[in-house]
């Protein structure tokens, strides 16, 4: 893995990569990253997470099955809320994101083709890291899993790797459970694709953030 970066650079340069090289990430490097992610905080140090790493033939079988079932409606362990049910502010942000993505490409058709193709093929990533928590967990454990995921993604960026956390990778939990031998008493939270980015237009887009003044309030 590559040299360490300045922490501010790690945070600001981390973004979702949607097309990966087939260059594998070594098991040693993945183990190091996951060990770092274990330093994430959790409720009373409960450490509710379990980690399953799919590579090689196992991941290819998952990808093949997902392509075959692409036209089916997903049924992730965490229900997906329709965009219209999100708060007005978040809907505006999502609409802006879609607008930016479309205009990042030369045409709407190209944007649709590249984004849809990337999603269908699970971003061509050589590795997907799946996170679970015990079924029936407190919502605080979902927060803890998010802390683990963010720590993992920042650690990856520090070592020259890119990532994307995706709903797409967990939309068919039955496929993942069977392939990864995940017990029924665990909830599949998220899949994180990780690897080395291709030199592609889809990977040069970096989403914007709200002005900090819009989300921040001090009360002395």
pLDDT of residue 5: 75
What is the model's pTM?
0.94
Low-confidence ranges of the chain (pLDDT < 70): 1-4
Residue 44 Rama label (left phi>0; alpha psi -120 to 50; beta)? left
Query: How many CA atoms lie within 13 Å of 156's alpha carbon, on the beta-carbon side?
Result: 29
Domains, the chain, with CATH or none: 7-78+122-204 (3.40.109.10)
pLDDT of residue 23: 97
Q: How far, in Å, CA of 175 to CA of 97, rounded?
A: 30
pLDDT tens readout for residues 3-42: 567 999 999 999 999 999 999 999 999 999 999 999 999 9
Element (H, E) at 194: strand 186-195
pLDDT of residue 182: 99
């Amino acid at each position: 893995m590559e040299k360490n970066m300045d922490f501010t650079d790690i945070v600001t340069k981390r973004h979702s990569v949607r097309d990966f090289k087939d260059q594998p990430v070594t098991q040693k490097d993945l183990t190091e990253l996951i060990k770092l992610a274990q330093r994430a905080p959790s409720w009373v140090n409960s450490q509710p997470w379990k980690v399953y790493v799919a590579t090689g033939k196992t991941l290819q079988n998952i990808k093949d099955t997902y392509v075959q079932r692409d036209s089916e409606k997903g049924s992730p362990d965490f229900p997906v809320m329709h965009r219209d049910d999100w708060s007005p502010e978040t809907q505006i942000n999502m609409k802006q994101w879609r607008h930016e993505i479309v205009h990042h490409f030369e045409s709407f058709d190209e944007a649709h083709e590249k984004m849809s193709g990337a999603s269908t093929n699970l971003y061509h990533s050589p590795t997907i890291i799946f996170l679970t928590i015990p079924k029936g967990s407190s919502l605080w454990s979902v927060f803890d899993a998010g802390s683990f995921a963010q720590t993992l993604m920042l650690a990856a960026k520090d070592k020259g790797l890119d990532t994307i956390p995706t709903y797409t990778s967990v939309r068919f939990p039955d496929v993942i459970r069977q392939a990864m031998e995940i017990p029924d008493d665990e909830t599949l939270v998220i899949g994180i694709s990780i690897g080395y980015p291709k030199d592609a237009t889809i990977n040069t887009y970096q989403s914007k953030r709200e002005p900090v003044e819009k989300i921040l309030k001090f009360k002395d």
